[in-house]
Structure 1
Amino acid sequence: MNISTKFIGTSAFVVGLIAVVLGGITIWRNQMETSAYKKLEQASRTIELAWQVQAIVGHEVHALKDYVFLKRNTQIYKSIKQMCWRILRSWKN
């Protein structure tokens, strides 16, 4: 075999190998980016739900305090309790 033929063949093989490696890295990076974005969305939703729960619990405690200690405005307590159940049911979806 001629030296130039070996050089051209080896060069083509190396270029092809580099293209395959770079293509694989690009695919892997895109897949990791998509996975990270999905985890970010899930974490954001979890944080949002935690803030909602915190607000609901605060309203619930306040209404329950009024109901237990002051024996007043039981309708607010009942409406907050219904709102909590609606929100909890919507989270299951």
Structure 2
Amino acid sequence: MSSVFYLRRSFARVRERCGSFAGIVLTLCLLSILPSATFADAMDQARRIHDRLAGVPPTDQILLDMTDDINGVGGRTEIDAAYRAMDNPGFYNVT
């Protein structure tokens, strides 16, 4: 009876260790593959905002204007960049 109890306890320890190890590996994998907007520069952020809102890539001039908005040129903000993306006719076709 004691050997059965010992085996059960050993398997429980192995399951606990594998479970926590698998959780750590999964967390590290997710963190490594998820894109982070924190590390994106203003042009990448502008491109992402435009693509998500309008559903089409921005023109070069719109991208530069949105980048200026995100950088705060002329007192403009990210919200102004989003409104600029919504001016694209694609916005009304996507939403």
Give TM-score scaled by structure 2 length.
0.44
Which one has the largest radius of gyration?
1
Q: Which has the higher contact order (CA 8 A, sep 6+)?
A: 2
Give TM-score scaled by structure 1 length.
0.44
